[in-house]
Amino acid sequence: MATTAHKAPNYILIWAYLFGLTVLEVLFAFEMPISRNLKILVLLGLAVWKALLVALFFMHLKFESRYLRLMVLVPLPLAAIFILAVITEHVW
């Protein structure tokens, strides 16, 4: 494998996390205890958390060189720049 030998992460635990988070998300989406904006933030947070779990453990980013991690992050600010800039069109 790549440079550093690493103990394979406990995939079943990650699977349990993902399953739990998905159920949590679905439940959370339909209980309406809080304001809409906070709900969106929480749901996005859960989604990002699950995405990070997949990326770090399933795609082994956690054990890769930091240059690769940096390279993988490059497109994200571009996406953010595009969406934030175009959204201001409606905050005329």
Contact residues toward another protein (CB under 8 A) are: 1-8, 11-12, 14-15, 18-19, 22-23, 25-26, 29-30, 39-40, 43-44, 46-48, 50-51, 54-55, 57-59, 64-65, 67-68, 71-72, 74-76, 78-79, 81-83, 85-92
User: Among 14, 46, 53, 15, which residue's Cα sits nearest to residue 29?
Assistant: 46
Nearest distance in Å: CB 35, another protein: 13
Measured CA to CA, the distance from residue 56 to residue 61 in angstroms comes to: 5
Query: Least CB distance from residue 57 to another protein, whole Å?
Result: 8
Q: Is the dihedral of CA 84, 86, 87, 90 positive or negative?
A: positive
